[in-house]
């Protein structure tokens, strides 16, 4: 806005622009706020206004909110949440569905042709958008006379090697999301994330048994401990059945003279997992624990 005024594209009379901290002293029908948040971004001003977390602005009944934007694919849910919250406050919401309201900030094809004609690029790399947008832009460049071999469509992680006389895709580099966990940056691997997802969706069961280090007999247990799976006090019958399945697994191992604790753990885990899936159609994480006494 400041640049537009400096370049003469906007002529704003004195006294029209006011500090946002001073708007509470002005009549509601004299204030127009131009703000961010048309895509429902979590920390955007409009989202904070809608959810009452903005410091200076509060949406009230009768306020009119004009959303001048088209929904970017994938943002529909977050935009809908903001609009629903505005309706909950009895605000009037006007968007592109109400009529011809929004003009895209992106150049249309005829404008892109003008840019290509003015620049006359030696090489062309379309950027910004999904694959369909990049391909369409590349086709437009060909229509403007560009050699298809000089048009490169890249992707995240691909290396673009540029010289005075050449442009080509040359190799890849690691790319994607970097997870921050406490003080660790990027040290949470895919296996850890898979386990966390498993725990979040299905919970965990720990089967603890004490066994003699001399002859491998069961000294105590097995005890069944659950977290995030079922409420134990209301599922005592299921807990008892799980304990019985674990006992049967241990007895089978003893009958087969199995003394390898890894094999015993695997037997308990498989039997408990099969039983739980048949019984509940759920696959909690199962951790057999054997303590030597």
In which band, very low, low, confident or very high, does the pLDDT at 255 lie, cut at 50, 70 and 90?
confident
Question: Do 199 and 229 fall within a single domain?
Answer: yes
In a domain, residue 183? The reply is: no
Residue 13 lies in a domain: yes
Among the ranges 75-84, 210-219, 222-231, 280-289, which has the highest mean pLDDT value?
75-84
Q: Which of 79, 98, 117 is the last residue of a domain?
A: 98
* Residue 124 sits in the same domain as residue 201: no
- Output the DSSP codes for the chain: -HHHHHTTS--PPTTSS--GGGGGGS-GGG-----S-TT--TTSHHHHHHTT--SS----TT-EEE--SPPPTT-HHHHHHHHHHHHHTT-EEE-GGGSS----SS--HHHHHHHHHHH--SSB---SS-HHHHHHHHHHHHHTT--GGGB----TTEEEEE-SS-EEEEEE---S---EETTEES---HHHHHHHHHHHHH-EEEEEEEE-TTT--EEEEEEEEEESS--GGG-HHHHHHHHHHHHHHHHHHHHTT---HHHHHHHHHHHHHHHHHHHHS---EEEEEEEE-
In the listed set 77, 98, 119, which residue is the last one of a domain according to the structure? 98
Quote the pLDDT of residue 197.
83
What is the reported pLDDT for 159?
Answer: 93
What's the pLDDT tens digit per position in 3-33? 999 999 999 898 888 888 888 888 888 899 9
Report pLDDT for 112.
Answer: 94
- Read off the pLDDT band of 248 (50, 70, 90): confident
Q: Is 218 within a domain?
A: yes
Q: What is the pLDDT of residues 135-160, one digit of tens each?
A: 999 999 999 999 999 999 998 899 99
> Torsion angle, CA of 222/227/229/234, rounded to 10 degrees?
80
Residue 91 inside a domain? The answer is yes
Local confidence band at 173 (pLDDT 50, 70, 90 cut-offs): very high
Residue 181 lies in a domain: no
Whether residue 216 is contained in a domain is answered as yes
Number of independent structural domains in the chain: 3
Lowest mean pLDDT among 107-121, 126-140, 200-214: 200-214
pLDDT cut 70: percent of the chain above it: 99
Residues 250 and 206 in one domain: yes
| CATH assignment of the domain containing 9 | 3.40.50.10710
223 and 285 both lie in a single domain? yes
Q: How high is the pLDDT of residue 72? A: 84
Q: Among 132, 133, 68, which residue's Cα sits nearest to residue 104?
A: 68
Q: Are residues 197 and 288 in the same domain?
A: yes
Q: Give the pLDDT score at 283.
A: 85
Mean pLDDT of 96-103: 77
Q: Decide which of 98, 132, 155 is a domain's last residue.
A: 98
Domain assignment of residue 133, given as a range: 109-172
Per the prediction, the chain carries an average pLDDT of 87
Sort residue 145 into left (φ over 0), alpha (ψ -120 to 50) or beta: left
Q: Residue 230: which pLDDT band, with cuts at 50, 70 and 90?
A: confident
Same domain assignment for residues 159 and 249 = no
The CATH number linked to 262 is 3.10.20.580
Q: Would you state the pLDDT for residue 200? A: 84
């Amino acid at each position: 806005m400041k640049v537009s005024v400096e370049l003469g594209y906007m002529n704003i009379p004195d006294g029209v622009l006011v500090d946002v901290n001073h708007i509470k002293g002005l009549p509601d029908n004299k204030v127009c706020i131009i703000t961010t948040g048309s895509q429902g971004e979590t920390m955007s001003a409009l989202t904070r206004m809608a959810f009452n977390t903005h410091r200076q602005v509060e949406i009230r009944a009768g306020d009119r909110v004009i959303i001048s934007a088209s929904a970017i694919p994938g943002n529909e849910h977050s935009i809908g949440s903001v609009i629903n919250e505005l309706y909950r406050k009895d605000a009037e919401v006007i968007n592109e569905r109400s009529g011809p309201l929004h003009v895209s900030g992106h150049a249309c094809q005829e404008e892109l042709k003008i840019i290509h004609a003015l620049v006359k690029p030696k090489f062309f790399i379309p950027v910004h958008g999904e694959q369909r947008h990049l391909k369409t832009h590349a086709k437009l460049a060909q229509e403007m006379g560009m050699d298809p071999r000089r048009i490169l469509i890249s992707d995240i992680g691909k290396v673009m090697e540029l010289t005075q006389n050449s442009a080509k895709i040359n190799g890849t580099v690691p790319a994607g999301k970097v997870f921050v966990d406490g003080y660790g940056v990027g040290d949470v691997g895919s296996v850890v994330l898979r386990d966390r997802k498993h725990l979040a969706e299905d919970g965990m069961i720990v089967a603890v048994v004490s066994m003699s280090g001399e002859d491998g007999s069961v000294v105590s247990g097995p005890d069944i401990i659950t977290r995030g799976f079922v409420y134990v006090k209301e599922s005592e019958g299921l807990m008892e059945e799980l304990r019985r399945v674990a006992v049967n697994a241990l007895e089978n191992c003893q009958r087969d003279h199995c003394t390898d604790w890894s094999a015993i753990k695997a037997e308990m885990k498989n039997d408990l997992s099969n039983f739980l899936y048949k019984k509940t159609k759920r696959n909690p994480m199962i951790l057999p624990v054997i303590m030597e006494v």
